[in-house]
Amino acid sequence: MRRVLPSIASVALASALIAASAQLKPIQSDLNPIDSKSSLVYKTAAEGNLSVDLYFPDGWKATDHRPAIILFFGGGFGSGTTNQFGGTAKYFASRGLVAATPDYRVRGRQQTGPEKSIEDMRSAIRWIRMNAARLGIDPQRISAGGASSGGTGVVLAAYSSAYQPEGDDPTISDRPNALLLYNPALGFGSHVGEVPPEVVKALEPVISNWKVTSGGPPAIVFFGTEDNLIERGRAFAQQMIAVGNRAELYTAEGQGHGFFQELRPIGHWHEAVVHQSDLFLSSLGYLHGEPTIEHPVAEVLKKVLP
């Protein structure tokens, strides 16, 4: 059987295009899912609707109070789809979490800049918390993960006040309760490699617009040792530890940017990263029992910090 979800309250697209600001779309009806994946519109922006794919565990009920995980794809704010984390979302749903993979505006599809991408990521976190009661989610146990530029949005949601979406309800927090960062783009540092100077000039002010403060959400961070972005990623983890926040940094020897991706035909780094992510969430009480994903012997992550 296939899940049939009631549609959320609709606002005519024509009206949305005229509106001065984007609008979050609250869920108006009870969900009664049958299948494991569903999709809902969470926001209407000037360029159109943005959807989030939702993955529900077996036995899910709207009255549950489950932890959640939100996973944002990477692609340099220019490309990417929710499929990047589809398998990972299914895995965490199988472990009992409600998992979400939101779409957001990118240059290649909507001709928008990175600021709009980050605004949408903040909106998606806020939408999950706003609708927690209908999604069977504990609003105080919402973790967020992101790859590359997706990781940028997650860190800015936690440790920056920049790029707040106009029209969102500021009384609903968009700050995740835990961070899972997969080679996040947090600044180029001194090792830009082959990144064109014009790209560095355009993106550096955006992706480095964060400041770690005490009392913030814990984080686990993954990088390949050959990734040009690792320098600023390490600095983020060091700053987290310096102010008393929990942070763990793991590296994959000899690997470059995006080494962890599920469909990347290089070893089994994806399994190793998901396995370690599972252990991190378990240590926070979000998951229970041993990871069910097989831990690859050949690919060993090295714990660098703390």
Q: At 87, which CATH number?
A: 3.40.50.1820
Strand pairing report for 247-252 and 219-224: parallel
Strand pairing report for 23-24 and 219-224: unpaired
251 in a domain, yes or no? yes
25 in a domain, yes or no? no
Give the sheet arrangement for strand 37-45, strand by strand. 23-24, 37-45, 48-55, 98-102, 66-72, 137-147, 178-182, 219-224, 247-252, 302-305
Model pLDDT, residue 298: 86
Model pLDDT, residue 32: 63
pLDDT along the chain (306 residues), means of 10: 32 30 76 72 96 95 96 96 96 98 97 97 98 96 98 98 95 98 92 77 94 98 96 97 98 95 80 97 98 90 97
Contact 238, 195 (CB under 8 A): no
Q: Which tokens in the block code for residue 147?
A: 């790859």
186 in a domain, yes or no? yes
What pTM does this model have?
0.90
108 in a domain, yes or no? yes
32 in a domain, yes or no? no
289 in a domain, yes or no? yes
Domain that holds residue 186: 48-305
Angle (CA) 206 195 145, round 5°: 50
239 in a domain, yes or no? yes
Number of domains in the chain: 1
36 in a domain, yes or no? no
